[in-house]
Chains A and B, each alone.
Chain A
Amino acid sequence: MLAKRIIPCLDVKEGRVVKGINFVGLRDAGDPVESAQRYSAGGADEITFLDITASHENRRTLFDLVDRTASTVAVPLTVGGGVRERRDVSELLHAGADKVSINSAAVSNPDFIKEMAEAYGSQAIVVAIDAKRVPGQTENWTVYTHGGRRDTGLDAIAWARKMADYGAGEILLTSMDRDGTQDGYDLLLTRTVVDAISIPVVASGGVGTLRHVHEGLAAGGADAALAASIFHDGHYTVAEVKEYLLDHGVCVRPPERD
C-alpha cells in the first residue's frame, strides 16, 4: 500500500537555512545540505527547499546547494521559490532537483504549467497554491501570490482543478490562514481539494503537534504532510512523527535505523 509521505521543508535564503535546527553533531545549523542529510537519515520521505532569496542574482548559490544536496541525499528533492521561466525549471532539474514547485508564475501564465509538464513530465512539476479563506465564508478560498500578499481572486478549488488538467503532477497546498499559527492544517480546505482532483495533494501550513499531522493525512485526506517549524524547532523528529502515525493506523514508511 502506498505510504503517506512526511516532508520537512527548509526555508533557504542566499544558500542558508533561515531557521535551522541545532541537530546534535551538526557542524553548521545553517547549512541546508547538512540539515537535509539529517532529515533524510531520520526517515524523511522527501525534502523540500523553499528559496526565499529576494534577488535573482543569487540563484547560483541555490543551484550549487541543490547540486550538493542531490549528491548526498537519496530521497526526492523538491525546490520552489522564484521559479518564473523555463530556464529556472531546467536549471533546477539539471542541478539535481526531482521536482520544481511553481506558484506565482502559474497564476500569471497558466500555460507555463502545460509547457513545463510537456517538456519535463508531470512528475517534475508541482504547483504550489497559497489559499486563504474568503472573509465571512466557510467554504470559499481564493489563491494568493507573492508570498501571500496579493489576492488573485481565483477560486482555490477551481484553480487546483485547472492546474491538474494542465499537467501538474502534484499540488502543494498551503493555508495562508494557518501558516505559522501552529493551529493545525485547514482540514476543510485540504479535504475539499483532495476530493476535487485526481493528483496527489501535499498539505502545508499550520502544523504544531503530532495530532495535526495525523489529522491532515486522515481527516484531510492529504497524500503527504509538509512541515517546517515542528522539525526545525526540534519539537519532534521525523521518526517520532512516523511512529505516532503508525500507532494511529496511518500507513507510512517506517524510519530505518542506520
Chain B
Amino acid sequence: MNIKWLFLILLLFSLFGCRKEITNWDTQWSFPVIKDQLNLQDLVTDSLTLLNDTNGCKLVYDKTLYRIKLAEFIKIPDTTIQSQLAINFPSLNVSPGTILSQKDIENKLEIGDAELKKIKVKKGAITITFLNPLATKTYYTIEIPSFTKDGVAVKKTLMAEKGSTNSPSVVKSTLDLSGYSIDLRGVNNHTFNTIVTNFDMQLDSTASSATKVTNKDITKMSIAISGIQIEYAQGYFGNLHIESSTELPVTSLQKITNGNFKLSEATVELNILNSCKLMAKGKINSLISRNTLSGINISFQNQQLNNPFYIAPAWTKDNQLITTDKKFIFNSSNSNLLSFIENLGDLYKINYDFELNPYGNLNGGWDEFFPTSEISLHLKSIIPLHIQVNNLNFKDTLDLDLSNIPNGKSIKSGQFKLHCASSFPLDATVSLILLDGFKNILETIEGTARIAGKSKFSSENKISNVYFAPTLGFFTKMNSVKYVIVKTIFNSVDKSFEIPYNGKIDFQLSTDFEINTHY
C-alpha cells in the first residue's frame, strides 16, 4: 500500500495545524497619570500680571493698544531728478580735456504739504544715470552736497564711452543711502524739500583731435531716489489727520460661555503718549465691549469720551527726549466701568481721531521725530480679585488624539480618579466632552462630584475626590477621539470673596481600568 498515501496524509497533517480560537482574559490596572499644581500665577498669562499689596490681590492688565509711527505717515516718495546740459552754439569744435559744468542746481521734491529741512535715511538708494551723445569718451562727475555721511558729500565720477545724438552711450551707478543725512534747505539754507546737485563733464583729454559738438548733443543726467525710509526728520510735517478704529480680541474670555461674575471695584487708566516734537489733537469716539456669544454690546460711558483733547509736543532736555502724555482714569464712580468689564466681552472696539499739527506750522518748521517717536495708546486696568461668581461656564477645547493607543478596543471599563486639594474659594464642576475629527460628540463624561473650594471661614484646604467614568460603549470607539472639551462651571463658595495671591489647587489623576487581553 499504500505507503505513499500514508506519507501524503502525514504530510498534510504536518502542514495544517488546528485552528486556534481567541484566548482572552480580563485584568485590572491602576496607576498614576498626572500630578501637578495650578496656582494663580499659572492662570495669569500674556499681558496679565498679579499685584499683591496690602489691599489684597489684583489682576493687572497692561497693554499698548495702538502705536502711530510718524515714519509711516511722513514719506519721501520714489522720485527721479533730471537735468541736462548742452552748448548754446549751433556747432563747436571742443578740444580734448575741455570741462563743462553745472553748479548748484536746486531740485525740488514733492512731499505733500510737509516742508522738510533735514532727514536721516534708515534705508534707501539712488541710481545715477548719464546719457552721453558726444562722439568721444567723456568723464562725468556728480556731486550732491545735500547728501552727506560723516560730513562727506556724495561725489561720483563715471566714464561714458563715445555715443551719438541718436544713440547716446549710457553709464549708471547705484549708491546705498543707508545712514546718509539729507539737507533739504537748498543752496542758501532757506528753503525746504530741496536737493542741491553739481555736475561736470570732461571730454577725453587723450583724444587726438577736437570733438565737434552741436546744440542738439544734449547730455542728460538723472538721479532716481527709491525706497527711502526715514529715521529722523526735521521741518514742518504738515497737517495729518488719522481716524481709525482698533479691535482687541481677548480670546481667553471666549472660553466663558455662560454665567456671570460681579466685581467690587476696578480701575482703568487710558494714557496717550507723544514722543514726537509736534502738537497733536485727539478724540476717543467710542469704546465698546462685545460679548460675541451673548451678542451683548456695552458702550463705555464717561463724560471725557467724545471730547477733543490736546497733547503738547515732546521736548528735549539735556539731549533727552521728554515724552508728553494725556491720561484718563476711569472707575466705577465716573463711568460704567464695572458693568463694562462684567459683560465679559471677548472683543473690544475703540474708535478715535488724531490730528497732527492741527493749527498748521506754528513753530517755524521745527517739528521733529526720532526713531522711537510715536503716539501711542496704553491701557492699564487694575481689577481687585474680590469677586462673586455664579455658574460661570468655562469651556476649553484641547487636541487629544487617541488614535495611536494600541488595543483600544480591549479596555472594557474603567474610570479616572481625580484627587484635589484646593485653596481657591471656588467650587468647580467638571465634565469632559470627547469629540471625533469632525467635532461630533462621542462621549460626555460628567464628574461624579464637584471639586470643592475652600471657604473663607476655613483654614484647611478642601479635599475632593471626583471620578470620571465613561460608558462601556465608549471604549470601542475611543480611538476616534481627536479633541476634548473641558467644561468647568465655577461658583463662589461664599457670597463674596477674595482670591488669595497664593491660591492653588494640587491635583492628581490616576486610572482604574479593566482591560481585556486577547489574541
Bound pair: A and B? no
